[in-house]
Amino acid sequence: MTIILGVDPGSRITGYGVIRTEGRHMEYLDSGCIRMGEKPLAERLQIIYAGLAELIATFRPEEFAIEQVFLAKNADSALKLGQARGAAIVCAANAGLPVFEYSARQVKQAVVGKGAAEKSQVQHMVQALLKLSRKPQADAADALAIAVSHSNFRQSMLRLNVSRTVRRGRAS
């Protein structure tokens, strides 16, 4: 059984999603948003760090998955997003968590089946996959989708490692 914390970083709103996986079974634990408002950037980064540190202490995830930076039209926005990602990654690293990064396209492909999916499609599929009674807020849905994508990636890698071990005659 593995608990995964997925994060959709943002300099104003950072989404998070926590799931527990066992084999192919995924269970929703929590999701939401860390909202920073109009505070100075340094304070917003501290809020991201503190919020994620609290989630890590509460849920004790074994793995941390985060969305990669995408190229934005606005360089200032891209820099702030990178700094928000940095605060989140340092928080995970300080907690001793392995960090896995996925592009938005990879996440949409894994969850919806097409890399150019709309946010509403991601919300719908996350709701269906995790058997939620209602659609999660968009940033929380993105974070849950990142966690689900990581869970799927983990299962693929485990199957690949098992098949390699069996093929080589080294069943362990």
**Active site positions, annotated:** 8, 67, 139
In the annotated binding site, the residues are: 8, 67, 139
- Distance, in Å, from the CA atom of 22 to the CA atom of 49, rounded to the nearest integer, reads 28
Residue numbers belonging to the annotated binding site for Mg(2+): 8, 67, 139
Q: Is 107 exposed, middle or buried (0-12, 13-18, 19+ CB in 10 A)?
A: buried
CB distance 60 to 102 below 8 Å: no
Contact by Cβ (8 Å): 63, 56? no
Residue 31 sits at φ, ψ, to 5 deg, of: -160, 165
Please give the Cα distance from 107 to 114 (Å, whole number): 9
